[in-house]
Amino acid sequence: MQTTRQWQTGAIGPEADLKIGEARIPDVSGTMIRVRTQAVSLNFRDRLVLESGMGLPLQFPFVPASDMAGVVEAVGPDVTRFKPGDRVISTFSPDWIEGRGPGTAHTPHYQTRGGFYPGVLSEHTVLSEEWFTLAPATLDAGEASTLPCAGLTAWFALIECGRLKAGEKVLVQGTGGVALFGLQIAKAHGAEVFITSGSTEKLERASALGADHLINRHDGDWVEQFYQLTGNYGADHVLEIVGGPHLGQALKAVAVNGRISVIGVFEGFDVSAPVAPLLLKAPVVQGITVGHRRALEDLVRAVDQTGLKPVVDRRYAFEELPEALDHLYRGPFGKVVIEF
């Protein structure tokens, strides 16, 4: 019987005792595959889960984090989608293959890796082949690990739901992981991208990634700046990543019949906004919680075709998880990655 190392904790909140432990590696049977983890991408949500549990029914010892890239080491006899040696990435919501999301109005599913399901900070995992998809050939493992959550969220908002086309105006708020994917995906489709930040240095880095217009939130009312830059037209697409009453700003900025994708942490916050622009401009406002596997496959294909390289702010070693989690609070430019 083999074992694997994993980051785990026996509790969440103040009693959390995150440390490297060991777990048994199950045998590979049926449609299961064994995957050796090469990289894990962290999300701000991983901190929230560790700090509060987010109301989820966690299993202890709990292994955190939702997104990884790795290599298939062994496949069960009924596996059809993969073979040993294939490079794969995880899916955020393993039960959501395509179409309508799972769950009901009363209880929508939030059954993701690193929450309802165990996380990915394990050197080996044995899981159904349905929980994975092929990694892009053009990305290394660290880059590929950023696609399942941050990359897919931006893609699902702008492309799967938003059907972005060249020439449209996209407003991206901030320079975090989803925001920079939004910038890159929008540019890959020929859009005009406006990015907001409170940091001149981050805006300059965004410019190097292709942002067409930089809006410093410290230079007065950013919505007014945006109106001027667009001749009052507004944004065809807004990636609203801030949350809370900030939705009102997004409603000011959105074009007539534009689209606001609401993305963000969802612990205890309300959204609020004046109803006048919601009615008079009739935008679509849609919450986005990542997306389904088929769209992730579309994103992988697009990444390989366009040469899009995810922005990794810093790569940490497996043992440096605590430092990497700290980094999340300092507002990374793009993604924070653990390499195994």
Binding to a second copy, residues 67-86 (CB under 8 A): none
Smallest distance, Å, CB 8 to a second copy?
26
Smallest distance, Å, CB 256 to a second copy?
5
Smallest distance, Å, CB 87 to a second copy?
17
Smallest distance, Å, CB 315 to a second copy?
26
What is the C-alpha R_g of the chain? Answer: 20
Q: Which of 128, 284, 322, 326 binds a second copy (CB under 8 A)?
A: 284
Question: Among 13-21, 107-115, 116-124, 316-324, which window interacts with a second copy (CB under 8 A)?
Answer: 107-115
235 in Cβ contact with 194 (< 8 Å):
yes
30 in Cβ contact with 7 (< 8 Å):
no
146 in Cβ contact with 212 (< 8 Å):
no
Return the residues of window 245-264 that contact a second copy according to CB under 8 A. 252-258, 262-264
Q: Say what the alpha-carbon torsion angle 286, 287, 292, 294 is, to the nearest 10 degrees.
A: 30
Q: Cα(318)–Cα(322) distance, rounded to whole angstroms?
A: 10
Please give the structure tokens belonging to residue 14.
């103040």
Instruction: Confirm or reject binding of residue 154 to a second copy (CB under 8 A).
Output: no
Instruction: Confirm or reject binding of residue 285 to a second copy (CB under 8 A).
Output: yes
Q: Cα(226)–Cα(215) distance, rounded to whole angstroms?
A: 7
C-beta closer to a second copy: residue 35 or 299: 299
Instruction: Confirm or reject binding of residue 273 to a second copy (CB under 8 A).
Output: yes
Instruction: Confirm or reject binding of residue 163 to a second copy (CB under 8 A).
Output: yes
C-beta closer to a second copy: residue 245 or 322: 245
Instruction: Say which DSSP state 218 is in.
Output: T
